[in-house]
Amino acid sequence: MRWRRVLAVLGMTLPACHSGTATDPPAPVPVRLVAGVGAVCAIMSDATIRCWGENRFGQLIPHGGSTAVDAPHATVDFPTQLPGLADVRDFSNGQDHSCAIVGDEGRLSCRGSNGFYQLGVDDISHGVVEVSGVPPAVQVQLCGQCTTMLDRDGAVWYWGSCTDLLEASPEKRRVAFSQRFISIRNLGCVQCGITEAHEVWCWGSNFEGAFGDGKSDDTPVNHAPTRVPGLTGVVQLAPTCAVDSAHRVYCWGMNNSGQLGQGTVGTLFDPPQPPLQVAQLRATQVERAANAACALEVDGHVSCWGTGYKGVLGNGPPKGQNPSGNAYPDDSPVPRRVKGVANVIGLAVGWGEFACVLLADHSVKCWGDNECSEVGVGPDPLGYRYEPFPRDVRF
């Protein structure tokens, strides 16, 4: 008591005593999903990142060991926090490397293979690299062995093998274009972006009609930025699909698996198509797999169309019970709602034919190709390498 009176004279007090135990901070939850060629990542509410899927080249968790497909570190079976990354603002994973934008200063940290200089350094190896020689980044996009970033002034930079494997370079090059971009997306040798005028422009190779002009490059060609015709008011972009301000969905390019959502299936010999509206869909987001697409509808449901390969459409039938006798579910050239998911607030689709959704309660469900644990539930005990229905992913 004497010490309390002395402290009171000095204008000080002792902290009050409380019974019970201290309250632990809430556990971090997923707030955004991103998918690449063979992996999925969740940016968490504490700005860390957790990933699952292919890790042969240390693109998720660096290992410095063998890149064999049967190496013990070749896959990350369940959501695992990536070491050395905090305060993550954006993230993208490509075929064999990944990059994160870190902190208010927009630093770019990349990891994985550097076989084609995609990490931005002149050292053909793999590891973790803090990228230098570029302005602060606000968005990063990877695909294949190409790294593309958007800076704060709306300019786009790229390095690695973005057009032709023979032209791979660690040099950071700026896309020669007078307009400012507000968002970018990558598709292999094709890079596209939304301008401040909400138009879509693409550059690089016109792979499978990615420019929407009905043409296609037989070999990689480094085209200057070209406007995709017929699209205005675009607010969200995926490779060869887009959503406009009226929630209309458009897709263009090849339709050999019904991936344009027009109710027809073409062939590989048909010419690519210009942008076509996917009828009866009102969406806030659209994402592409190699030969399929999925859209997050305004009512919180998800619809998918195109190839059913490896169960990417999310509608079964059960593994081993396909009535058509095929190893994988059938195609659908029109959008079909994925059963068992509602109240969706985020969508990620991988180029390797898998998909994940983020629900309003911050839970995650995935389906499709699971050969490298892309679904986040570990290997199937019966040896099946795909999941035809949505599965809960545990964090």
> Which of 241-245, 373-377, 379-383 shows the lowest mean pLDDT across its residues?
379-383
- Does the pLDDT of residue 373 top 50, yes or no? yes
pLDDT of amino acid 127: 83
- Determine which helix (DSSP H) or strand (DSSP E) holds 297, and give its type and residue range: strand 292-297
- Does the pLDDT of residue 115 top 80, yes or no? yes
- Does the pLDDT of residue 27 top 50, yes or no? yes
Q: How many whole angstroms separate alpha carbon 114 and alpha carbon 29? A: 32
pLDDT of 344-357, one tens digit each? 999 999 998 999 99
pLDDT tier, 171 (very low <50, low <70, confident <90, very high otherwise) = very high
Find where tokens 């809430």 sit.
26
User: Is the CB of residue 33 less than 8 Å from the CB of residue 364?
Assistant: yes
Q: How many whole angstroms separate alpha carbon 93 and alpha carbon 330? A: 28
The mean per-residue pLDDT over the stretch 3-13 comes to 38
pLDDT of amino acid 380: 87
pLDDT of 36-67, one tens digit each? 999 999 999 999 999 999 999 999 999 877 88
pLDDT of amino acid 143: 82
- Does the pLDDT of residue 166 top 60, yes or no? no
pLDDT of 257-303, one tens digit each? 999 999 999 998 899 999 999 998 999 999 999 999 999 999 999 99
pLDDT of amino acid 14: 40
pLDDT tier, 324 (very low <50, low <70, confident <90, very high otherwise) = low
Give 43-103 as a DSSP string.
Answer: EETTS-EEEEEE-TTSSSS---S---TTSTTSEEEEEEEPTT--SEEEEEE-SSEEEEEET
Domain boundaries, the chain: 280-395
Q: How many whole angstroms separate alpha carbon 337 and alpha carbon 289? A: 16
User: Is the CB of residue 357 less than 8 Å from the CB of residue 375?
Assistant: no
191, burial (CB in 10 Å: exposed 0-12, middle 13-18, buried 19+): buried
Torsion sign, CA atoms 132, 135, 139, 143: negative
The mean per-residue pLDDT over the stretch 78-89 comes to 97
The mean per-residue pLDDT over the stretch 172-176 comes to 92
pLDDT of amino acid 364: 98
Residue type at 102? V
pLDDT tier, 323 (very low <50, low <70, confident <90, very high otherwise) = low
Q: How far apart are the first and last CA of the chain?
A: 49
The mean per-residue pLDDT over the stretch 13-39 comes to 76
pLDDT tier, 164 (very low <50, low <70, confident <90, very high otherwise) = low
Give 93-159 as a DSSP string.
Answer: E-SSEEEEEETTTTEEEEEEE-TTSTTSSS--SEEEEE--SSPPEEEEEEETTEEEEEETTS-EEEE
The mean per-residue pLDDT over the stretch 319-340 comes to 79
Q: How many whole angstroms separate alpha carbon 376 and alpha carbon 31? A: 17
* Of residues 234, 253, 255, 254, the one with CA closest to residue 244: 234
- Does the pLDDT of residue 12 top 70, yes or no? no
Q: How many whole angstroms separate alpha carbon 188 and alpha carbon 190? A: 5
| Sheet hosting strand 302-306, strand order edge to edge | 283-288, 292-297, 302-306, 332-337
User: Is the CB of residue 117 less than 8 Å from the CB of residue 65?
Assistant: no
pLDDT of 195-234, one tens digit each? 999 999 998 888 889 999 999 886 667 788 999 999 999 9
**Secondary structure of 332-373 in HEC code, one letter for each residue:** EEEEEECCCCCCEEEEEEECCCEEEEEECCCCEEEEEECCCC
Q: How many whole angstroms separate alpha carbon 117 and alpha carbon 76? A: 24
pLDDT of amino acid 207: 83
pLDDT tier, 82 (very low <50, low <70, confident <90, very high otherwise) = very high
